């Protein structure tokens, strides 16, 4: 009996040593990542910008749905709008013989109803603006692809342009990566001077349209590099939304290259920007339902992390029946999340980042037992660690530890309900 016990202890001892040796950086980073004291849900939507007037109606329907759901502190649900400032001016580009790029921007009267819907939503506290590129592509790459007659899908891009070029979602995926040169694949980095100029132009446009440029940036297709980050920071960006990784380019087939680095909530990047992680999805147009949101919320609560739900304009701009169904599902998801976590907090991504930076924030957990429970949950869900945990049996031990530590039970929080 004693011999068996020694063998078991030795087994787990070796497993712990292997875990520490192989994954010590991840274990430490997971511990340093702030733990939230209460559940937080933010709906993060991208790609809003110039478009047909129906987009304004969609935004107003979304705003009404968000405004009808409030947390215990009276705060309405928030959807961030990743704003794209402009689209190509097809007629002017054609008139130049495809030699010059021209832009139609949100300043044009045609798009005033969309801007008004965004601004009204911001004033009502249901929308928060974020940067998502002056265009959803790098104009020089688009122009080069328009001029190339062979093998680069220029026919499809010409058709897209002739249809108005309003829906960046319809561009080939590599071209949607604004912050890398995808004229030819594999991609190449952009000239940092050109990047800085582009960020300057974007900031100027957003200030003229909205009276101020948002402090949160969402990299298009999550491809960006240090030069982009530095330029953002120099133009007022304080927060960068990430999927938990940074991608820096595309391969010869147009696929994202393996990530250059892992990113966690609250980490600091170039120029002092704060990273937040958005890695859950709610795309009604792709079949995501309210139940998926509550499942993601449960996982994030266990990890003491915020739930940032990624969605896109594409989900809400279909024909009226699809649009109505998508907005209704959004409302159902928010109400269901609130019913399973009554102390759920709604906030903006900028405010969340502020809490991640501030250890004294009431949104931050300071007690060590919930922090340790969150660490156990995070380690169990950490990519690359799962196999070792499973085959060594350490995963079961971590699960038991979470149980004994009481899990991250927000309902016990002394501040529960004060959002
Ligand atoms: Zn986008």
Q: What is the pLDDT of residue 411?
A: 46
CATH of the domain at 108: 3.20.20.370
Q: How confident is the model at residue 402 (pLDDT cuts 50, 70, 90)?
A: confident
Q: What is the mean pLDDT of residues 142-168?
A: 80
Half-sphere exposure of 112 (CA within 13 A, CB side): 3
- 341 plus 373 within the same structural domain: no
What dihedral angle (degrees, nearest 10) is formed by the CA atoms of 31, 77, 233, 383? 30
Contacts of 222 (CB under 8 A, 6+ apart): 242, 243, 245, 246, 247, 256
Separation of CA 135 and ligand 1 centre (Å):
10
Q: How confident is the model at residue 126 (pLDDT cuts 50, 70, 90)?
A: very high
Residue 196 has pLDDT above 60, yes or no: yes
Separation of CA 174 and ligand 1 centre (Å):
12
Q: What is the pLDDT of residue 341?
A: 96
- 171 plus 261 within the same structural domain: yes
Q: What is the mean pLDDT of residues 152-157?
A: 70
- 261 plus 376 within the same structural domain: no
Separation of CA 361 and ligand 1 centre (Å):
31
- 274 plus 171 within the same structural domain: yes
Residue 79: inside a domain: yes
Percent of all residues in the chain with a pLDDT value above 90, rounded to a whole number: 78
- The angle that helices 2-32 and 394-404 make with each other, rounded to 10 degrees, is 70
- 381 plus 291 within the same structural domain: no
Residue 418 has pLDDT above 50, yes or no: no
Residue that finishes a domain, picked among 307, 336, 357: 357
Residue 3: inside a domain: no
Separation of CA 177 and ligand 1 centre (Å):
8
Residue 4: inside a domain: no
Residue 414 has pLDDT above 60, yes or no: no
Can you say whether the dihedral through the CA atoms of 400, 302, 326, 336 is positive or negative?
positive
- 313 plus 387 within the same structural domain: no
Residue 13: inside a domain: no
Token pair belonging to 15:
């497993």
Residue that finishes a domain, picked among 357, 388, 408: 357
Residue 23: inside a domain: no
Q: How confident is the model at residue 360 (pLDDT cuts 50, 70, 90)?
A: very high
Separation of CA 67 and ligand 1 centre (Å):
24
- 233 plus 313 within the same structural domain: yes
Q: How confident is the model at residue 156 (pLDDT cuts 50, 70, 90)?
A: confident
Cβ proximity of 201 and 230 under 8 Å: no
Separation of CA 417 and ligand 1 centre (Å):
34
Residue 297: inside a domain: yes
Domain carrying residue 298: 40-357
- 374 plus 344 within the same structural domain: no
Q: What is the pLDDT of residue 399?
A: 82
Residue 14: inside a domain: no
Q: What whole-number distance in Å separates Cα of residue 136 and Cα of residue 15?
A: 47
Residue 2 or residue 412, greater confidence: 2
Separation of CA 283 and ligand 1 centre (Å):
13
Separation of CA 209 and ligand 1 centre (Å):
20
Separation of CA 137 and ligand 1 centre (Å):
9
Separation of CA 218 and ligand 1 centre (Å):
8
**Tokens 């102390």 — which residue?**
343
Q: How confident is the model at residue 415 (pLDDT cuts 50, 70, 90)?
A: very low
- 322 plus 397 within the same structural domain: no
Residue 413 has pLDDT above 50, yes or no: no
Q: How confident is the model at residue 320 (pLDDT cuts 50, 70, 90)?
A: confident
Separation of CA 113 and ligand 1 centre (Å):
21
Number of structural domains found in the chain: 2
Q: What is the pLDDT of residue 351?
A: 98
Q: What is the mean pLDDT of residues 358-368?
A: 95
Separation of CA 132 and ligand 1 centre (Å):
7
Separation of CA 83 and ligand 1 centre (Å):
9
Separation of CA 402 and ligand 1 centre (Å):
37
Separation of CA 179 and ligand 1 centre (Å):
12
Separation of CA 355 and ligand 1 centre (Å):
26
- 353 plus 373 within the same structural domain: no
Residue 285: inside a domain: yes
Contacts of 341 (CB under 8 A, 6+ apart): 39, 297, 301, 410
- 332 plus 388 within the same structural domain: no
Separation of CA 94 and ligand 1 centre (Å):
25
Cβ proximity of 210 and 278 under 8 Å: no
Q: What is the pLDDT of residue 15?
A: 78
Separation of CA 404 and ligand 1 centre (Å):
42
- pLDDT tens figures, 216-259: 999 999 999 999 999 999 999 999 999 999 999 999 999 999 99
Residue 416 has pLDDT above 50, yes or no: no
- 290 plus 419 within the same structural domain: no
What does the mean pLDDT of the chain come to? 92
């Amino acid at each position: 009996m004693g011999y068996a016990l020694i063998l078991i202890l030795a087994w787990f001892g070796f497993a712990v040593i292997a875990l520490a040796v192989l994954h010590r950086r991840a274990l430490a980073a997971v511990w340093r990542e702030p733990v939230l004291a209460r559940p937080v849900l933010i709906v993060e939507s991208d790609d809003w910008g110039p478009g047909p007037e129906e987009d304004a109606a969609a935004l107003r329907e979304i705003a009404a749905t968000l405004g009808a759901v409030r947390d215990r502190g009276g705060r309405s649900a928030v959807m961030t709008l990743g704003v794209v400032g402009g689209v190509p001016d097809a007629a002017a580009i054609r008139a130049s013989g495809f030699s010059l790029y021209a832009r139609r921007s949100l300043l044009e009267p045609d798009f005033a109803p969309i801007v008004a819907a965004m601004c009204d939503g911001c004033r009502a506290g249901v929308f928060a603006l974020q940067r998502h590129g002056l265009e959803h592509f790098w104009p020089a790459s688009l122009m080069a692809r328009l001029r190339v007659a062979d093998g680069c899908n220029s026919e499809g891009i010409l058709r897209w342009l002739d249809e108005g070029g309003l829906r960046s979602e319809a561009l080939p995926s590599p071209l949607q990566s604004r912050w890398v040169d995808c004229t030819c694949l594999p991609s190449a980095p952009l000239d940092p001077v050109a990047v800085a100029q582009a960020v300057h132009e974007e900031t100027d446009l957003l200030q003229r349209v909205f009276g101020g440029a948002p402090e949160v940036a969402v990299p298009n297709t999550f491809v960006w590099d240090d030069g982009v980050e530095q330029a953002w920071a120099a133009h007022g960006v304080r927060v960068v939304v990430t999927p938990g990784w940074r991608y820096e380019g595309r391969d010869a087939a147009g696929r994202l290259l393996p990530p250059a680095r892992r990113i966690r909530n609250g980490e600091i990047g170039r120029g002092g920007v704060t990273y937040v992680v958005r890695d859950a999805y709610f795309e009604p147009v792709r079949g995501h339902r309210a139940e998926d949101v509550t499942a993601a919320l449960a996982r994030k609560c266990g990890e003491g992390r915020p739930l940032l739900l990624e969605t896109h304009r594409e989900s809400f701009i279909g024909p009226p029946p699809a649009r109505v169904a998508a907005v209704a599902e959004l409302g159902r998801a928010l109400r269901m999340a609130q019913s399973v976590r009554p102390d759920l907090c709604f906030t903006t991504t900028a405010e969340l980042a502020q809490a991640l930076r501030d250890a004294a924030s009431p949104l931050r957990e300071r007690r060590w037992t919930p922090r340790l429970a969150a660490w156990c949950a995070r380690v169990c869900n950490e990519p690359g660690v799962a196999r070792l945990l499973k085959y060594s049996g350490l995963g079961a031990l971590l699960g038991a530890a979470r149980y004994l530590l009481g899990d991250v039970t927000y309902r016990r929080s002394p501040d529960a309900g004060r959002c």
